Structure 1
Amino acid sequence: MRGTSISVLVILVLFCCKINTEGKGYKEAFNCRELECPKYEVMHSGKQFEVRKYEVSTWMSTPTINSTSYSDAVARGFNMLFAYIQGNNYKSAKIEMTAPVLVDVHPSTGPFCNSTFVVNFYVPQKYQKYPPGSSQLRPAKLPRQKYGIVRRFGGFMNDGNIASEAMALKKSVKGTPWESSFGKSYSVAGYNSPFEYDNRVNEVIFWSNN
């Protein structure tokens, strides 16, 4: 009888441990220990993706950039963002770097057509209510949808692995309540500078109101 009680206790402990570990989601991106990052709540955590509910916050966004290359578009957009945080704004304010840099991607419909991109900078809490204005950037409230469906990957982002990771995310949600919410457009989040080689964290995100 005693042995049966011990076995039941062990099963209960293991079951509780499983409950406590599920739903925690991805670990915090390494750079978010030092840089300000947007806040969110993990609503669902799976093996290959998680669903987040972000707090709506202020970002500074570039104009739409037309390009056949993600790398080209991000380089152009990041130059605008970097100038902005270095003081090229109406208050001449030096603004702390944050993470991630969020890029909205609207893929082209043909092999020789431009895709469109918007590069977004998360505004630090100090400037959330009143971000310094800019002639190149505009403030935006993001996200526009309620939920972000996220897949994380490492390395340096490029046109090839972004597309493949987006397809992998679509595949991983088949048969789930979020399958029907996927559209053609998505975002990618990069948490590292181009000069960091270790602990690189990238995410591809599809947005949904469902």
Structure 2
Amino acid sequence: MEITRLMIMAVNVLCLIALCSAIETPQYTVIHRESNFEIRLMRESSWMSAAVKELSFEKATKFGFHRLFEYTQGANLNFSRIAMTAPLLTSVVPDAGPLHSSAYYVQFYLPVAFQKTPPTPLPELNLEHSVWPSRCLAVRTFTGFAMDGNVVKEAEKLAVSLSRSPWANATSPDSVYAYSIAQYSPPLRIFGRINEVWVDISGSVLDDCKSVRIAEY
């Protein structure tokens, strides 16, 4: 029991150190900003994803991150160590199973050095490499811990803000995710935590994500 407790503490410390040193983030341009949300044009980006079937957002994030962390520490066919990045992204897939249970994709943004050719993860980790094309996102920032009790509320607040903007009813019908929660802070940080809600919107990338209703304002 004591050994197990010490191992858990060691993993937490490693996670803290890894996320504290995160310096690379996805690249984007802010197209529009209001007091409680902004519209971003995200550049094409490459991610390593862990699919998790779990009712709890917190448990899904924890289980997915554990697999991704093993990958960054050398659990790949190249035995490569990969620097941690930010954010850790948990994407929610609604109504994905029996009794309307949810599924999640916990996603790790690959550093620039591995964006094109990431090391192949060990099969037992069950990870998948995915490339996101350039996309339009609505983003809301919130503080504190991202937990089961608040992530849905934060997503709903973003939906309300969008409903009062030129992007009303602009959520993308092509997105496989209801929304994503981006966490930028180390797991043991108590104060000054930064999180975001991401929602795909259907603004045209070629037109800098502008809504057709912009002209009405």
Residue from 72, 96, 101 that aligns with 1:85: 72
2:162 is equivalent to residue 173 of structure 1 = yes
What residue is the counterpart of 1:15 in the other structure? none
In structure 1, the residue corresponding to 2:160 is in which secondary structure? Answer: helix
Residue from 185, 194, 203 that aligns with 1:201: 194
In structure 1, the residue corresponding to 2:66 is in which secondary structure? Answer: helix
> How far, CA to CA, are the matches of 2:96 and 2:79 in structure 1?
40
TM-score when scaled to structure 1? Answer: 0.78
> How far, CA to CA, are the matches of 1:139 and 1:191 in structure 2?
21
**Cα offset, 1:145, TM superposition:** 6.3
Sequence identity (%)? 37
What residue is the counterpart of 1:50 in the other structure? 38
Post-superposition CA distance 1:110-152 (Å, at most 9, x none): 9x6421100110000111111001122111112x562110000
2:90 is equivalent to residue 103 of structure 1 = yes
Matches within 5 A, 1:24-39: 35-39=23-27
Of the structure 1 ranges 132-141 and 32-41, higher mean CA displacement relative to structure 2 is found in 32-41
Residue 75 of structure 1 aligns to which amino acid in structure 2? K
Question: How many equivalent residue pairs?
Answer: 178
Matches within 5 A, 1:14-163: 35-63=23-51, 65-108=52-95, 113-134=100-121, 135=123, 136-142=126-132, 144=133, 146-163=135-152
| Structure 2 runs not aligned, ≥5 long | 1-18, 204-217
Quick one: structure 1 residues 106 and 34, their matched pair in 2 at CA, closer, same or farther if it must change by over 3 Å? closer
> How far, CA to CA, are the matches of 1:180 and 1:156 in structure 2?
28
| Structure 1 runs not aligned, ≥5 long | 1-30
In structure 2, the residue corresponding to 1:173 is in which secondary structure? Answer: helix
Post-superposition CA distance 1:30-58 (Å, at most 9, x none): x8995111110000000110000111111
> How far, CA to CA, are the matches of 1:109 and 1:209 in structure 2?
22
Residue 114 of structure 1 aligns to which amino acid in structure 2? S
> How far, CA to CA, are the matches of 1:156 and 1:123 in structure 2?
23
**Cα offset, 1:67, TM superposition:** 1.2
**Cα offset, 1:155, TM superposition:** 0.5
> How far, CA to CA, are the matches of 2:134 and 2:156 in structure 1?
20
Residue from 173, 186, 194 that aligns with 2:179: 186
In structure 2, the residue corresponding to 1:62 is in which secondary structure? Answer: strand
> How far, CA to CA, are the matches of 1:207 and 1:32 in structure 2?
28
Residue 63 of structure 2 aligns to which amino acid in structure 1? R
**Cα offset, 1:109, TM superposition:** 8.4
